[in-house]
């Protein structure tokens, strides 16, 4: 039999006419027998939908083996795509030949009945074969593409910032150390570990953010963005924190906080609209099985402007809310997730961008406002999740930046290259970071960050 190149099942299902000879390949989702026939539901990951294969006893010499095929087995099928006699599908494939590539026995853990997300996390290597996770990862792929489309359309240059770095951008000390020093017998000098003998002749870490390096690139290329993995050794076991996550960080020269907030809001809307447009089957699945309110909420977010509110005013609202919060609220305290959720879900009932935070609770690089008390920071909060974007206008004045560093117990001498950017042709500039997984949680309604990353890393867990 002539070898045809395989057609993605997605394309076969969208065919406008019957096809005499077609080849598909994939994994058996279910198989059932009728007299002299076997019906196979085949999925190849290209779409949520399966293609129904009709295997006839009279035409297939290996029919006895086909009858033993069970869920999870892999096959290559050649035959004719014909209008389906049955309900529920337009096309089906009548097989001339079925090659059994890999069998699966009944220990295959993905059976037809629904499984809990917790169970599926334990088989993270097989869960992409489920409808839910196949859909999540297709949407993840689509939105990664949309990220590039959004920035490229707007003239941003894609830059790659290092994964191994010597600086703690966020100053929160949540760093994973990168070292080749022998842990059982480290070189010492005056009793302390001597990192000058380490691989990079200094202490290095996995990056928590590409921002500082992105600033250097923005002060040459004007508009840049990064999209890469970031790492935080934050010991918080919540549904919204991962130890390894992907962040998109645009940085713009000649741009103040307002321009930055405009871009962040436009970006969030763009990604939602993109998933709505390009992943209709997946979005329908999420709305049916994950979150009944999902589509209404997303469309509502698309239709309305986001709320903007200064931190001080947000704190006043929270104090007057009459709510009994677990954590205290007051000027100079961080907004906790319960506060963020009250603002977005109960009070404004839409995404909220909070700006101008007290300088004490924000990192050294943020621009000090004229009031001397606040910095030009912003956090974009969305219903159900809370913070999805964090950003700021950066301090572009050399003396103020050095002062900020000393206030944060940092030695300006360690950041000479960063300070040089303020010495030579400094300009006002701004940027933000969008947590890609948090965005995926918002778009899919999936409530746990572990379920929007193929292989999640969280405290105490780095299997697979
Ligand atoms: O607010 P963050 O810490 O901001 C920065 O890192 C800045 N340097 C960004 C910038 O201005 N270029 O982090 C940005 C976003 C958060 O709003 C959140 O969406 C996500 O990154 N994020 C996490 N996502 C998953 N797990 C974690 N542990 C996260 N920490 C932050
Ligand atoms: Mg933040």
Closest listed ligand to the CA of 232: 1
Residue 3 scores a pLDDT above 80 = no
- The token pair at 3 is 């070898």
Instruction: Compute the distance between CA of residue 68 and CA of residue 192 in angstroms, rounded to an integer.
Output: 65
Contact 261, 353 (CB under 8 A): yes
Q: Using alpha carbons, select from 320, 322, 271, 188 the residue that is nearest to residue 443.
A: 271
Cβ-contact 12, 51 below 8 angstroms: yes
DSSP summary character for residue 219: H
Structure tokens at 227: 């999209």
Which protein residues are within 6 Å of ligand 1, measured from CB? 169-170, 209, 211, 232, 234, 241-242, 245, 247, 249, 387-392, 431-433, 435, 437-438, 449
Instruction: Report whether pLDDT(436) > 80.
Output: yes
Write the DSSP assignment of 409-443 as a string of letters.
T--GGGGHHHHHHHHSS---EEEEEEEHHHHHHHH
Taking CA 13 as the corner, what is the angle to CA 277 and CA 75, rounded to the nearest 5 degrees? 120
Tell me the pLDDT of the chain averaged across its residues.
96
Instruction: Give the mean pLDDT of 44-53.
Output: 97
> Cα torsion for 400, 403, 407, 412, to the nearest 10°?
120
DSSP 96: E
Query: Of the ligands numbered here, which is closest to the C-alpha atom of 227?
Result: 1
Ligand at minimal distance from the CA of 234 is 1
- How many C-beta atoms surround the C-beta of residue 144 within 10 A? 15
β-strand 192-193 against 157-158: which pairing, if any? unpaired
Q: Tokens 């593409």 belong to which residue?
A: 145
pLDDT at 2 over 70: no
User: Alpha helix (H) ranges present in 89-210?
Assistant: 117-122, 131-153
- 50-101 pLDDT, tens digit each: 999 999 999 999 999 999 999 999 999 999 999 998 888 899 999 999 999 9
Determine the residue of 172, 245, 363 to mutate for testing ligand 1's pocket, defined as the one with the most ligand atoms within 8 A of the Cβ atom: 245
Can you tell me which atom of ligand 1 is nearest the CA of 251? Answer: 12
Average pLDDT over residues 210-236: 97
Rounded to whole angstroms, how far apart are CA atoms 179 and 202?
9
Number of Cβ within a 10 Å radius of residue 388: 23
pTM of the model: 0.96
Rg (CA), the chain: 27
Q: Strand 188-189 vs strand 164-165: parallel, antiparallel, or unpaired?
A: unpaired
Nearest alpha carbon, ligand 1 atom 25: 241
Q: Are 101 and 39 in contact (CB under 8 A)?
A: no
Q: What is the pLDDT of residue 128?
A: 97
Cα 147 from Cα 343, distance rounded (Å): 27
User: Which atom of ligand 1 is nearest to 388's Cα?
Assistant: 19
Judge residue 103's burial from the number of C-beta atoms within 10 Å of its C-beta, 0-12 exposed, 13-18 middle, 19 or more buried.
Answer: middle
Structure token pair of residue 5: 């190149």
d(CA 174, CA 155): 33
Region 264-291: mean pLDDT is 98
Tens digit of each residue's pLDDT (9 = 90 or more) over 311-333:
999 999 999 999 999 999 999 99
Atom nearest to 172 CA in ligand 1: 3
Which one of 170, 232, 435, 436 would you pick to mutate in the ligand 1 pocket, going by the greatest count of ligand atoms within 8 A of its CB? 435
Characterize 176-206 residue by residue with b for buried, 16 or more Cβ atoms within 10 angstroms of its Cβ, and e for exposed.
Answer: eebbeeeeeeeeeeeeeeebeebeeeeebbb
Residue 214 Cα: closest atom of ligand 1: 12
**276: nearest Cα among 444, 49, 45:** 444
Q: Which residues are within 5 Å of ligand 2 (an ion), measured at CB?
A: 390
Whole-number Å distance, alpha carbon 272 to ligand 2 midpoint, is 21
Nearest protein CA to atom 31 of ligand 1, as residue = 435
Q: Ligand 1 atom 24: the closest Cα is on which residue?
A: 435
> How many other C-beta atoms lie within 10 A of the C-beta of residue 33?
12
In this predicted structure, what is the pLDDT of residue 65?
97
> What is the predicted pLDDT for the residue at 171?
85
Cα(361)–Cα(336) distance, rounded to whole angstroms? 13
Tokens of 73: 């087995």
Residue 367 above 70 pLDDT? Answer: yes
Give the distance (Å) from ligand 2 centre to CA of residue 435.
10
The answer to whether residues 15 and 80 touch, using CB atoms and an 8 Å cutoff, is no
Report strand pairing: 223-231 vs 386-393: unpaired
Phi, psi dihedrals of residue 6, rounded to the nearest 5°: -70, 145
- CA distance linking residue 401 with residue 451, whole number of Å: 40
Distance 428 CA to ligand 1 centre (A): 22
Interatomic CA distance for residues 395 and 12, integer angstroms? 55
Q: How many helices (H) and strands (E) does the chain have?
A: 13, 18
Confidence check: pLDDT of 1 > 70: no
Tokens matching residue 290: 């994950």
Please name the residue that has the structure tokens 């300070």: 419
Report residue 448 as tokens: 């746990």
Instruction: From the CA of 390, give the closest atom in ligand 1.
Output: 1
The pair of structure tokens assigned to 310 is 């200064």
Question: Which listed ligand is nearest to 366 at the C-alpha?
Answer: 1
**What domains, with CATH codes, occur in the chain?**
9-102 (2.40.50.140), 127-172+208-451 (3.30.930.10)
* Residue 152: strand, helix, or coil: helix
pLDDT in tens, 20-38: 999 999 999 999 999 999 9
Q: Which atom of ligand 1 is nearest to the CA of 380?
A: 17
pLDDT at 113: 76
Give the closest residue to 388 by CA, choosing from 127, 143, 142, 135.
143
């Amino acid at each position: 039999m002539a070898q045809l190149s395989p057609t993605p099942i997605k394309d076969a299902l969208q065919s406008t006419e019957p096809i005499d000879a077609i080849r598909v390949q994939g994994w058996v989702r279910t198989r059932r027998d009728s007299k002299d026939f076997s019906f196979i539901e085949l999925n190849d990951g290209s779409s949520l939908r399966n293609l129904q294969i009709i295997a006839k006893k009279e035409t297939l010499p290996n029919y006895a083996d086909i009858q033993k095929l069970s869920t999870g087995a892999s096959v290559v099928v050649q035959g004719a795509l014909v209008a389906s006699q049955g309900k529920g599908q337009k096309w089906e494939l009548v097989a001339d030949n079925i090659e059994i590539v890999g069998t699966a026995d009944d220990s295959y853990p993905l059976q037809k009945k629904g499984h809990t997300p917790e169970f599926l996390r334990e088989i993270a290597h097989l869960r992409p074969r489920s409808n839910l996770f196949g859909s999540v990862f297709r949407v993840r792929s689509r939105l990664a593409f949309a990220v590039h489309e959004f920035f490229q359309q707007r003239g941003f240059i894609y830059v790659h910032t290092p994964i191994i770095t010597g600086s703690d951008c966020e100053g929160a000390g949540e760093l994973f150390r990168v070292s080749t020093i022998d842990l059982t017998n480290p070189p010492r000098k005056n009793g302390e570990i001597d990192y000058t003998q380490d691989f990079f002749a200094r202490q290095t870490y996995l990056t928590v953010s590409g921002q500082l390096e992105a600033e250097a690139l923005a002060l040459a290329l004007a508009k840049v963005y990064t999209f890469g993995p970031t790492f935080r050794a934050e010991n918080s076991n919540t549904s919204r924190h991962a130890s390894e996550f992907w962040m998109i960080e645009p940085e713009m020269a000649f741009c103040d906080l307002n321009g930055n907030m405009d871009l962040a809001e436009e970006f969030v809307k763009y990604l939602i609209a993109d998933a709505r447009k390009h992943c209709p089957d997946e979005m329908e699945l999420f709305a049916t099985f994950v979150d009944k309110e999902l589509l209404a909420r997303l469309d509502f977010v698309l239709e309305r402007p986001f709320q903007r509110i200064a931190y001080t005013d947000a704190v006043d609202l929270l104090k007057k809310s009459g709510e009994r919060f677990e954590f205290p609220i007051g000027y100079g305290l961080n907004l906790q997730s319960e506060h963020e959720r009250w603002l977005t879900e109960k009070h404004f009932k839409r995404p909220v961008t909070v700006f101008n935070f007290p300088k004490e609770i924000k990192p050294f690089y943020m621009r000090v406002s004229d009031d001397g008390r606040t910095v030009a920071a912003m956090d974009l909060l969305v219903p159900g999740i809370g913070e999805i974007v964090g950003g700021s206008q950066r301090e572009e004045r050399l003396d103020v930046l050095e002062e900020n560093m000393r206030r944060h117990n940092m030695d300006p001498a360690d950041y000479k290259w960063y300070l040089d950017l303020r010495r030579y042709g400094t300009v006002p500039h701004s940027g933000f970071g969008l947590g890609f997984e948090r965005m995926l949680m918002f778009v899919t309604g999936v409530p746990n960050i572990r379920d929007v990353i193929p292989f999640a890393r969280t405290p105490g867990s780095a299997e697979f």
